Amino acid sequence: MKKTNKIGLIDTHCHIFYDKYKNDINEVVARAKAEEVNKIICVGIDIETSKKSIKLSEKFESIFATVGFHPHEAKNVPSKYLDTIRSLLEVPKVVAVGEIGLDYYYEHTDKKQQIKVFREQLELAKDLNLPVVIHNRDSDNDLYDNIKNSKVNKGVIHCFSSDVNFANKLFELGLIISFTGIITFSKELQDVVKEIPLSKIMIETDSPYLTPVPFRGKRNEPYMVGEIAKKIAEIKNISFDEVVDVTTNNAKQLFKF
């Protein structure tokens, strides 16, 4: 990949706490560094993986963590989970509440419980003045209503896959969106990217899922995030450096690191 300027890339969303990274985590972090991915946000999906993400942030300078309950796991929240999350959010390199949200596609947890856990964590984020990292699958309307009601006004809808109208509604609430490797192979989403201002975009790998072209079939890793920047540059007909500059600054502004 073409070497960029000083600012470097940020993989704003990945799950490298999984066992499939256990044996070569040092190399994963080193490979990212070599491709000028200077920061990596490891996103928790429950208490255990939030703690694992924090451990990684303590071991590696470039890694930061988030703490939260994913909608898939919302059925398993322990009774005092909000207290636990609140205390984990005090750890220095924890930058956001997440991954929280709604998923009506898989619906691993029933909708009512998903909404309850989502709402509680939104309120916590609002209370602590922290940004949120939000997951959304086939749940645009309920997601929007809950964010709006919570008055949360900073955060990201990660792996954005809705349409331009919905993106604009989120921008009005103060949120931004991020794109994954899906934009390297989905024509539909490429058309969305074209319409969204760069000032509202961050980039992410969502490792280990959603490996970008040309690495399809391989395990996804943070170093591959440059492929998403490259694709955005191509779609918008602007320079790779501009995409890196702006998306990295967007991330710095949101996560305050």
CA distance 208 to 73: 18
CB of 115 to Zn ion, least distance (A): 19
Pick between residue 4 and residue 71 the one whose CB is nearest to Zn ion.
71
Helix axes 111-128, 81-88, angle to 10 degrees: 40
CB of 96 to Zn ion, least distance (A): 12
Pick between residue 138 and residue 242 the one whose CB is nearest to Zn ion.
138
- For residues 214, 216, 222 and 225, what is the CA-based torsion angle, rounded to 10 degrees? 40
CB of 181 to Zn ion, least distance (A): 13
Pick between residue 46 and residue 99 the one whose CB is nearest to Zn ion.
99
CB of 206 to Zn ion, least distance (A): 5
Nearest residue to Zn ion, scored by beta-carbon proximity: 99
Pick between residue 13 and residue 230 the one whose CB is nearest to Zn ion.
13
CA distance 16 to 25: 8
CA distance 195 to 48: 38
Name which of 17, 49, 25 is nearest 223 in CA terms: 25
Interface with Zn ion (CB under 5 A): 99
